[in-house]
Structure 1
Amino acid sequence: MEQTINIEQIFGILRKYSRLIILSTVICTLLAGILTFFVITPQYSASTEILVNRKQNADNNVQYNQVQTDVQMINTYKDLITKPVIMDPVTKKINSEKVNKLDNDEVASMISITNNQNSQVFSITAKTDNAYTAADIANMTATTFQKKAPKIMSGTDNVSIVSKAKPDLKPVSPKNKINILVGFVVGLVVGIGIIFIRELTDKTVKDEPFLTEELGLTSLGIINNIAPKDLIKKAIMKTSTLSRRG
């Protein structure tokens, strides 16, 4: 037989297991807080912007086409920046100031390159667990690219650093408020999910209407449940009464 639950029963179940829902919500929220403030390492970000100009032609139409080509070339610059020709000098400079040495792949994984649509300016962003290291990586990468690009790519004669990266002491991750909110919501959902699964899988008979209305059986009477302590009290009272009579 298919078991259905109406709105009244839903609210009844929520009230019945409200403590379990609250407990689940509190536990998940606390776990999210512990992970956010004591386990997850804060990450800091710093960005520098670069403008790359290629040799221009005097013809306006040709200049326009060259500008469009420059915009499309940014994808090439993105690939070039994370290659060993740029990463080798950057990694060497970073490791000269660090005890724990990094390799090219680790440094490259900290770097992301973005640009606005139809813009010749692109950003080099470094993200790591130290605000000053992030700024150093971004600036060193930009400076190295500025020196290497004209030699590697023909026609690229002017690489300008529009703005240098500065240490930002405000971490970009983790997002404290968002993480706590996620923990709260997960705890709430888990608690509600557990109680409804428990209710839907519970096949025990809880009331007389289920027998008479759902199963169509005839009620012959109700046997009340007597707690063991009440049985013991009644047994003692009965024994005492018999003793007095005897």
Structure 2
Amino acid sequence: MESVESQQISIGQILAILRKHIGLIFASTFIVTLLAAFMTFFVMTPKYSATTQILVNRKLSDDMAGAQLQQTQADVQMISTYKDIITSPTVLKTVNTKLQGQPGYEKGDVDSLKGSLSVNSQQNSQVFSITAKSTNPNTAAKMANETATTFKNKVVKIMSINNVSIVSKATADDQPVSPRTKLNIAAGLVIGLLLGIGLAFLREFSDRTVTSEEFLTDELGLKGLGIISEINERDIRRKITPKLNVSSNENDGQSRMRRRV
């Protein structure tokens, strides 16, 4: 029973603290959410992505047709090698040169171009995709297509592969993939709310003011002699002003009587 009562008291105290600092919590939530929206719409640069798909399938001679299954499995296992070739300087240097002058593309080193590309594949599939990101949708599509074409030309010489097919070319998509507007605003809302709650408890626990009689009697073991209500300054003026007016009127009357005498 005691644990339940103490738990109810603690929950009640928490709710009381939240109600007391509801203005602070609301202000923190509003400000952080507004800041997240401002960063999303006016600071962060939108980025667009485009994807092209490639199939690498080495042809076999007629007398080796029975080994087709083993060859297919070997091609799937080779996809990791193809990924390394795509992101190698041998391919990216050529792509970097071809992309010069494209809108939204700044000439940089191979590492910066590599950071804009990602190579993905599905399990047990000979098809893998190249995804490029850029601040311009057309540049993103050209980046993906140039990378696929350059890989197709280079891998023939590097690994003597004679059958590289571009399954689907990348096309420009006007819908940005980042920043994620709804996600950023939702994150700002949650962060602002948690920050406001944290500040509310921080202010409450750092406040050394005695706010309840129970703290004096239960915590400090003191005896309460009484409670003095807080009087507003406006109420004090209302009570004092009539008395001052009466006193001033009496003094004026007495001074007049003295003059008559």
TM-score when scaled to structure 2? Answer: 0.83
Matched, 1:185 2:166: no
CA contact (8 A) 1:211 1:219 kept: yes
Matched, 1:44 2:82: no
Q: Which of 157, 163, 170 is residue 158 of structure 1 equivalent to?
A: 163
Matched, 1:129 2:135: yes
Stretch moving more, 168-177 or 88-97: 88-97
More helix by share: 2
Aligned residues: 243
Higher Cα radius of gyration: 2
CA distance in 1, matches of 2:150, 2:46: 27
CA distance in 2, matches of 1:200, 1:82: 55
Deviation readout 1:168-210 (Å, 9 max, x if unpaired): 0000111111111111111111111111122223232111122
3-state SS of 1:54 partner: coil
Give the CA deviation at 1:87: 1.2
CA distance in 1, matches of 2:219, 2:57: 80
Aligned counterpart, 2:117: 111
CA contact (8 A) 1:90 1:144 kept: yes
- Give the 3 Å change call, closer, same or farther, for CA 132–38 of structure 1 in structure 2: same
Q: Which of 78, 81, 90 is residue 76 of structure 1 equivalent to?
A: 81
- Give the 3 Å change call, closer, same or farther, for CA 139–214 of structure 1 in structure 2: same
Aligned counterpart, 2:22: 18
Give the CA deviation at 1:94: 0.5
Deviation readout 1:93-120 (Å, 9 max, x if unpaired): 1104458433322222111100000111
What is the one-letter code of the residue matched to 1:196? F
Matched, 1:220 2:239: no
Give the CA deviation at 1:74: 1.0
Q: Which of 212, 234, 247 is residue 207 of structure 1 equivalent to?
A: 212
CA contact (8 A) 1:113 1:122 kept: yes
CA contact (8 A) 2:102 2:139 kept: no
What is the one-letter code of the residue matched to 2:125? S
Gaps of 5+ in 2: 1-5, 255-261
Matched, 1:92 2:106: no
What is the one-letter code of the residue matched to 1:26? F
Stretch moving more, 91-100 or 104-113: 91-100
Aligned counterpart, 1:149: 155
Deviation readout 1:111-144 (Å, 9 max, x if unpaired): 1100000111000110111100000000011111
CA contact (8 A) 1:95 1:102 kept: no
Deviation readout 1:16-35 (Å, 9 max, x if unpaired): 22111111111111111101
What is the one-letter code of the residue matched to 1:54? R
Q: What is the identity percentage for the equivalent residue pairs of Structure 1 and Structure 2?
A: 52
